[in-house]
Structure 1
Amino acid sequence: MAAPPATSSAAANSSCARLPGAPLRRAPAAVSFPSRPRPAALAAHAGPSQRLDVAAAAGHQKLMGSLTSNEGLRFGVVVARFNEVVTNLLLQGALETFERYSVKAENITVVSVPGSFEVPITAQKLGKSGKFDAILCIGAVIRGDTTHYDAVANSAASGVLNAGLSAGVPCVFGVLTCEDMDQALNRAGGKAGNKGAEAALTAIEMASLFRHHLG
């Protein structure tokens, strides 16, 4: 009996191959889908040459405060006397920054309070007076052997936030919360910079934003 003709492996694997007596079956045609534009979220991760300026493309307006448009802006500075060796340095950095950015001395009011716990209520009072465009809150809370540190640090942070919300005036948090005196001094003009100066920059920008764009 003659053997059936051999088929090549290519023919056996072909999409048109069939068994003897079986109907011919064709492979389904490939279906292509139209390409869609990438979502903005993916475009944001594209390379510099592919990145889209979504806001500009959509015609959105971008509002931002300025460090130079500060003519007539008025600032309140609340500074805690507790840990005065630190807070005086923070205050000095803030005042030097105000001067560097042409904020006039007569437009700055410095209020001294006993400690960081008293800063928020004072900031709220200044904010509600309507005399200031921003309030800068300065203090230093350093951890000790009791839980007093946690209570004061948390109260200062939440208090300054609430002061700004209730007064409708930017209240900038410039209260250091450090593990020890070395950390505090490093952040009050040492190797970590001066956080009082940084907070003053934030106060200027926020005051400008509210005065010129959100007022």
Structure 2
Amino acid sequence: MTLASLQAVPEARADGSLGVWRMETERFGDDELDLGATWLDEAERRQASSYVRAELRRAYVLAHAAARLVLGAATGVAPADVVWGRHACPGCGERHGRPRAEGAPVEFSLSHTPGQVLIAVADGPVGVDVERHPDDPVALSGLLHPRETEEITAAAHGTLDGGRATVRFTRAWSRTEAYLKGIGIGLGRDPHLDYLGTDEAPGRSIAGWAVHDVRVPEGYGAAVALLGRPRP
């Protein structure tokens, strides 16, 4: 689903099934940016101000405002009244794991990169990630699983058909990060440990999670991860 305005309440998923909303940050004017900023709490405002680059700061504010709008629609509260919280981290038990809306019966995840924002809401654990294609995918591919590194390198050298190296890298990275965000540990778990692949397979399963690509504009890659069931 596309989120085209912060001034219109999005349709809530009454059955609690997965909903994924995408927004293009360039389509939002300063008036909506200013409106969204008024919904953020003090910690979010501090985090937003920590971004030196204006495009990153803008993406952060719009992402958090959009998440508040969507969660408010799903739970019946105003965006400014959504209270951020955190689940326990599966690695150390501290409260810095997967984000949560306090008192809400739904789970959510959000991701932002300059130009694009994704928000996922579901009735169970969920993770979402959107990434812009990198300039040098081969240099970054070593962060991923060794088989994914091999696939990306082969694509860059023209010895693997079916996808450019940049596309393959972004597929693998967004799938991996969506999964790691879903389990709540994020990059606290080394991305090279899990193989999600670089090919065009629309979905994969790993450790009880279903990971699916999300359709986004050219130049980006995105994925969503759901615990325990395929995407509806």
TM norm structure 2: 0.26
Higher helix share: 1
Larger radius of gyration between Structure 1 and Structure 2: 1
Greater RCO, 1 or 2 (C-alpha within 8 Å, sep 6+): 1
TM-score after normalising by structure 1: 0.28
Structure number with higher strand proportion? 2
